[in-house]
Amino acid sequence: MIHGGDPKPLRVLRNHHQQSPAVTKQALADLLLNDRRSRTAEALTAATYLYERRARLETTLQFLLHQRCGENRKKLQRELQLHPPATYAALLAQWTAEGVRCPFDGSIAYRCTADGSVVCPRNGSGVHVEPADRGLWSILSDYLYPRTGEVERLQQLVPLTPDSIVIDVGCGLGSYTLPLARIVHGSGRVYAVDIDPELVSFVRYRAAREGARNVIAHHGMAEDLGLPAALADLVLLVDIHVFDPPKRGDLPPFFSMVRALKKGGHLVIMMESTMLPPSGLYESQAAAAGLKLQQCFMHDSPHFTSGRRKYWVFVR
């Protein structure tokens, strides 16, 4: 919802604090929507959630601006290294005149040390420190909606019925959870699993607002879902990588997800092509966990810089 660290929605809540709740929530929803005017209900749900927790947005804004300042300094430092040291001061002065400054208030200029490092005079003092709590940042930095056509493509790969059980691993804001819940509207259920408690809280809130009683928001992780065995017809991972080496004592990758699948159930992984694991890694790890690869292919997608998304379909 705020990609590239855009603080505007946070500032809306600060600047509209004397307005009525309805005005504030609509102003925030307008920013979250951009040109997606047909999605007003979902954006207003997110805006209402944020408004009801607006006291935590000061911490969120502090985290965002502290991170942005650090990113600015790294970028400037990389740029300086392309030029002779004698030009550092002049270049930094030029960038300052162009408005590249500490984002906390836009008035503090960056400085250059003798070794070419770029520093912010405010960094490390006052509010210019990274807070222990990121506030509501996770709610502002994920997607409300599925990528166009992907739920339909998933249905073609693994047809779901109204009675299917789905586990959405790394559910985020429920961008796939809620559309899938509308498909499995009989006795079916969607377990929305995420490691971030704030996202779990939001999906529970969103499901209640949308009347999706078959959504069960659950705190867990891919390596340890904490769900019953032989539960699901489909386990779905969208842009969630599980190829980090397991730590000592951890279960092997895919083990928990396979355990949660019924016999004949499917694991589907959808991943943007710039995030791919080493070639063959998922296939070998899934095979070791007892899964058989049914399909693996790339698909063109206009939503990504790379223009492509990869799909894996495994069956137990």
CATH number at residue 282: 3.40.50.150
158 within a domain of the structure (yes/no): yes
Tens digit of each residue's pLDDT, the chain (316 residues): 344 445 555 666 556 555 677 776 666 666 665 545 566 788 888 888 988 887 787 788 788 888 889 988 999 999 998 999 889 989 999 999 998 988 887 888 999 887 778 999 988 887 788 877 777 888 877 888 898 899 999 999 999 999 999 999 999 999 999 999 999 999 999 999 999 999 999 999 999 999 999 999 999 998 889 999 999 999 999 998 876 666 656 667 799 999 999 999 999 999 988 888 889 999 999 999 999 999 999 998 777 666 789 999 999 9
122 within a domain of the structure (yes/no): no
34 within a domain of the structure (yes/no): no
Number of structural domains the chain divides into: 1
pLDDT at 66: 87
Q: Has this prediction a pTM greater than 0.85?
A: no
120 within a domain of the structure (yes/no): no
pLDDT at 4: 44
98 within a domain of the structure (yes/no): no
pLDDT at 5: 46
74 within a domain of the structure (yes/no): no
24 within a domain of the structure (yes/no): no
Q: Which domain holds residue 286?
A: 150-315
End-to-end Cα spacing for the chain:
35
pLDDT at 302: 75
42 within a domain of the structure (yes/no): no
Mapped to the 3 state alphabet, what secondary structure does the chain carry? CCCCCCCHHHHHHHHCCCCCHHHHHHHHHHHHHCCCHHHHHHHHHHHHHHHHCHHHHHHHHHHHHHHHHHHHHHHHHHHHCCCCHHHHHHHHHHHHHCCCCCCCCCCCCCEECCCCCEECCCCCCCCCCCCCCCCCHHHHCCCCCCCCCHHHHHHHHCCCCCCCEEEEECCCCCCCHHHHHHHCCCCCEEEEEECCHHHHHHHHHHHHHCCCCCEEEEECECCECCCCCCCEEEEEEECCCCCCCCCCCCCCCCHHHHHHEEEEEEEEEEEEHHHCCCCCHHHHHHHHCCCEEEEEEEEECCCCCCCEEEEEEEEC
